[in-house]
């Protein structure tokens, strides 16, 4: 495999991409690119259609980058391309967090004054996931802003998991 720099103008997003990226996430990806560089090439087919990396492409356009690193994948059938676009997004969601290791790593980064907002979570998400305070990370969760709801209100309940982005009761 060879990484090539390709003009963002030559890239075409896959028209039926079922994964969406809102403005907030595009800005998060852009901030990540600013901090770490463009470390994950966009995957394209032989026609420069994006198979993986739609969010990175949008972030590059947001940053007004003229070209980005890409890897061209050749020889896939149209069916395989369609399946890969879905699989690439879904397979990453099937991973789970090692809570103890995550707490240790977040604590270490916090102690070194690293900007934790670059990790893609809000401060409320980080503190609700790892503990009641970043200065004193604890094993027990502190669900900031949690409130009990009545069973009859379940149809109106909305929640997006900060760990996997599962949207409960997405309407």
Complete domains list, the chain, with CATH:
3-93 (3.90.1530.10), 99-168 (no CATH)
Query: What's residue 170's pLDDT?
Result: 58
Query: What's residue 130's pLDDT?
Result: 59
Query: What's residue 137's pLDDT?
Result: 47
Query: What's residue 148's pLDDT?
Result: 63
Give the contacts of 140 (CB within 8 A, at least 6 positions apart).
131
Q: Is residue 54 classed exposed, middle or buried when 0-12, 13-18 and 19+ CB atoms within 10 A define those classes?
A: buried
């Amino acid at each position: 495999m060879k990484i090539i720099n390709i003009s963002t103008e030559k890239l075409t997003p896959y028209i039926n991409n079922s994964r969406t990226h809102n403005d907030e996430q595009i800005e998060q990806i852009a901030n990540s690119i600013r901090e770490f560089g463009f470390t994950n090439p966009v995957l394209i087919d032989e026609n420069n259609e994006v198979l993986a990396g739609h969010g990175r492409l949008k972030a590059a356009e947001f940053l007004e980058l003229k070209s980005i690193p890409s890897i061209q994948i050749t020889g896939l059938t149209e069916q395989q391309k369609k399946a890969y676009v879905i699989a690439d997004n879904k397979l990453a969601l099937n991973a789970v967090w090692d809570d103890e290791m995550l707490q240790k790593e977040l604590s270490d980064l916090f102690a070194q004054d690293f900007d934790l907002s670059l990790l893609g979570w809000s401060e409320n998400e980080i503190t609700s996931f790892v503990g009641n305070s970043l200065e004193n990370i604890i094993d027990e969760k502190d669900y900031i802003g949690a409130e009990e709801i009545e069973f009859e209100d379940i149809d109106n309940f909305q929640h997006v998991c900060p760990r996997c982005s599962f949207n409960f009761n997405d309407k």
